[in-house]
Structure 1
Amino acid sequence: MSLRIFRRWAAKLEPWVVILILLGLLGVNAHPLIDKALKAGSYAILPVLMIGRWKKWIYVATLDIPVLLLSLMPGVSAIWSTSADYSIDDFKGVLRATLFGIYLAVGYSLKGQMQVFSWVFGIGTVLSLVLTLGLPGYGVSGDFWIGIYEYKNQASLMMALAAILFLIKALNQKQKPWIFWILFSMALVQLVLTQGKTCYAIFANSLCLLPLYNSAKQKHYKMRMFFILIISLALGISTVLLINNLEFIIVDTLGKSMDFNGRTEIWTLVMDKVYERPWLGYGAGGFWTSKHALYVIHNTWAGGDGEIGISPGKALFNAHSGYLDLLAQYGFIGCGLLLVSLVTILLRIVAVSASTAAIETFWMLQTLIALFSVNVTERLGLIHYNTLWTIYVAIALSTALEHKRIANTVKGNQ
């Protein structure tokens, strides 16, 4: 009897423990002891989550081979890495984030995953507001609002993702939608306070995509094709407008210089080094911890900051672009694999949306667009050891499962 009670309580506590860990792995500005405890606990809980379900874990993990290869790449890159120890450390974190993504795909439906991340972002949104207002000096960095997160750009992305999620929930929730309207308002206000202009654009783009969901809900074949054509047209128009109005958008609207606040200088020098090892790069964590990074650091504004370097105790620099950092670490082969993965997932999302018109797949589409957009000028969540990579893996594997289920249903009805 006692064993039955223990199992029942364990089943109830499991999702809350996972939610807490996922929140912590987003990069919360917590006490170092709390951070270490969360990371240690995340490794400890994974074997427990896998007990009795390891066969299904293997089955689900192999449904998306590009994602599986991307998750293993940090470990494999230790073979050619200029800093093998850093590559192994990165691999441990990426593997953990990947396993949590597999766990979500195995244990939760698309609706269930959306619910999990509603709690993750909801807790983050509320804590950011309450703690920043209640604790003097906490949650603010200079003139920027960062809430419970470590730095401005990370906080702005979290609030953008939270606002997108809560807006979708508020518009489609039949019971107590006011809860999500409140959470949406809290996230939107904090997004503005972070002054993250890139994430302003990401959120604005998500608003433009909202009408597409109504088209996707139409079951008629022509309407499904219309939905796909509208996406293609919207992306094409957006690209043309961006290219032809780049200076106006950057200088006049976003208030930034045409060199992206010094980023283009860094990007040029990083690419010089990428071409020295173009195919496989310098390995996970290998570039910015090696002497090759000094070429970039000493020839840009980074060289004027004594805290930035490659030796122990120094803050590691980055390319201020997720894609360039991936090129430096994994070369064109790694980035090409990521592109194949993204295109595959997007095609699956469109296919699943055309069949089910589920709100969850639309949220996944919005999240993917936000994640890949922000990495133009930031490194957040691409083959990384945080919850954003967990979200990517969960989306990839969950849509693969759903797509396979739909295909089997169609095949069975024939």
Structure 2
Amino acid sequence: MRPSKLRDLQLKKFKALVKHAYDNVAFYHRKFRDAGFRPSDFNGFDCLRKIPTVTKFELQACSPRDLVARNFNLSSLVKRTTSGSTGVPLTVYVDRRVEDFYSAVWLRSVLECGLRVGDKMAVITDPRTFPKGKSFLQRLGVAERRYISIFESAERQRALLQEFRPDAVKGYASSLYILAEKYGEDLRHIGARLVFSGAEILNKAERRVVSSAFGADLFDFYACTELGWLAWECKAHEGYHINADSVLLEFLDEDGEAVTPGEKGRVVGTSLINDVMPLLRYELEDVAVQTDDVCSCGVTLPLIKSVEGRADDILVTADGRRISPTVFFPYPFEDVDWIRQFRVIQESRKRLVIQVEAKKAVNNKSEIMEAAERKIRSLFGEEVEVAFEFVDKIPLDKSGKLRKVISYMGKRGRS
């Protein structure tokens, strides 16, 4: 579909959703009324700022009946709950029609990456998200799936993968890296042809380790429970194709203005599919870089150049500059091979804590830490205190994800 046609489709769906939300969703009727907005005020995407954004905290404060359109029966709906990795879980309601559409969007993406309809796939994920039944294809005995708990040990996960021998493996970026780092090229015996990662930021060094260990091409996906599958990598790996026929993504600065392509912006999204529980201009709390480049693969969907991380994990220097968490990993340990993984915790502008999980004991640890500290201070400020904590294992959060950067600075940064 040509970009102009795709934009027209987005506009048509968005306008219909705005009117539907105003007429049928109590939460949006109140929010629009309080903002002095009526659906007739929206004439095009130039008017987006007239519609207030929505936060997870606002939705949490409402009852399901206030959020679900009145023309749907709550008891017949499917509940999708976020992982709560930020401490704020949220339940989103959909029906089977919306679920099927999200599945079709996912299938389109992975088929473009080289998955075949009948391929077997192992999925390493939070057991609370395991499906309760089988798909149509699985009931026919094809496209078999094996779900493996993220909380299983690496040894158990590897054993289950070897037993199942999938064509593709899908999992959290950190869980795939833990497996790859532990077993290396032994994972090639599993026989997977494709690897799909998501849920967390995957840096270049980790990508190389995972891809090499499995001996397979790795494709990263950008998604969220609230809005479904947002964007995906193709074989060209030139960015993430936005599923613009099912979601509208905006990239905004701190004043709510659209950033120019190539600039970092906080991501605000609208599902163009879910009319059961509409989410209009929903704050995803992520930071990403949009680009107006055209991918060489031939897919004309718009591109995200990179997903930088969560907005609340943006780091702040002593003089107030904001730094993407992707600055780390492997920096400041580029030439160190005995560190399994590390986590950066920013407690204030003047204090960083680096948790280090080592593979083995070393003799020159203090010398390496001093060099790393100098690098960090050169970036964050000479007055910054850098504390290193050596731990046996960096813990996962309750959803099974490994947060590699934690910032307590807030959106503006505290002193």
**TM-score bracket, shorter-length normalisation:** under 0.3
TM-score (norm 1): 0.26
Higher share of residues assigned helix = 1
TM-score (norm 2): 0.26
Higher RCO (CA 8 Å, separation ≥ 6 residues)? 1
